[in-house]
A and B are shown apart, each in its own frame.
Chain A
Amino acid sequence: MSTTIENPNYAYPARSKRGPSFEKAGWIFMRASGVVLVVLIFGHLAYNLIWTPGGISAIDFGFVGGKLADPFWRWWDVTMLWLAILHGSNGMRTIVNDYVHKPRIRQIALGAIAVAAAILILLGTLITFTFDPCPPTADPSLLPSFCADL
């Protein structure tokens, strides 16, 4: 037995087209966002879990209110939100394309990833920028300490 390959010297271009393409943009985005996410996520974890005395046990409404009153942390969180969701969703798209071969199911899975990404980005961005650290009707003992001075 042997294998016969017709036209073994037939040369075809490795790339079907040159110039911008969606997959290439995605490839670059995964790497660019990854580098920025290392800084944002490591900073997020270090600040919330290690550098804040008490770490996880100190996280409550007062803690988040104190953080989000500062524009620095608002922009930090929103940048992290957008990049992490887009990066994670694009990665999930790759994985679905690898494993899901039935066109109908693949379409549904990709649609669900896109819808989830849109909803979470919208929701997260809205709550970060419309958040009131001192809601007037809330129990004052649960609020950040600076609310007492208002």
Chain B
Amino acid sequence: MSETSSSLTLPDPSPRKTSFSGTLYRGNEGMWSWVLHRITGVAIYFFLLVHVLDTALIRVSPEAYNAVMATYKNPIMGLGEVVLVGAVVLHALNGLRIILVDVWPWATRNQRPLFWIVMGVVVVLMAYFVPNHLINVFSPMEGAE
């Protein structure tokens, strides 16, 4: 807690190299992790606002609820659901990575490969989800609306 009365004189910093790989943070995995986490978080938030309201229609009447759910059952919304689930999976797995990087020194040192592992698991989960979901969207069961 000592205070000295001297002052430190520094030369002006030399201009930062602008090459893509020369930056410590910008353009690297850490930035993409942060940008994607923020965008997906906001997107899921606004979906959830609407989703709680549409679910609340079960308290109004069966007809009201079914009418709103019917608007979800078309190919355009089907693709929207794929994007939503992709955002949820990415935010969730990247969130787990952030938690590990915060609390576990090994993960802190390896945050960069961990980002690519997260992306790999997202691809695997979506490769399972997308075909299953699109079958339900494009060829709904007999009897179902």
Contacts and interface: CB of A to CB of B under 8 A. Distances in A.
Interface of A: 1-11, 31, 34-35, 37-38, 41-42, 45, 49-50, 53-62, 64-65, 68, 81, 84-85, 88-89, 91-92, 95, 116, 120, 123-124, 126-127, 130-131, 135, 138-139, 142-143
Interface of B: 1-12, 38, 41-42, 44-45, 48-49, 52-53, 55-56, 58-59, 61-63, 65-66, 69, 72-73, 78, 81, 85, 88, 92, 95-96, 99, 102, 129, 132-133, 135-137, 140-141, 144-145
Nearest to A10: B3
A5 B10 contact: yes
Given A61-B58, A61-B66, A54 B52 contact: no
Given A7-B5, A38-B96, A65 B88 contact: no
A64 B51 CA distance: 14
A9 B4 CA distance: 6
A56 to B, nearest CB: 5
10 contacts: A5-B10, A6-B7, A54-B141, A56-B137, A89-B45, A92-B42, A124-B55, A127-B55, A135-B61, A139-B63
A83 to B, nearest CB: 11
B10 A3 contact: yes
Contact of A55 (B5, B42, B59, B132): B132
A137 B91 CA distance: 43
A42 to B, nearest CB: 7
Given A55-B136, A59-B69, A4 B9 contact: yes
A3 B99 contact: no
B9 A3 contact: yes
Contact of A142 (B55, B63, B137): B63
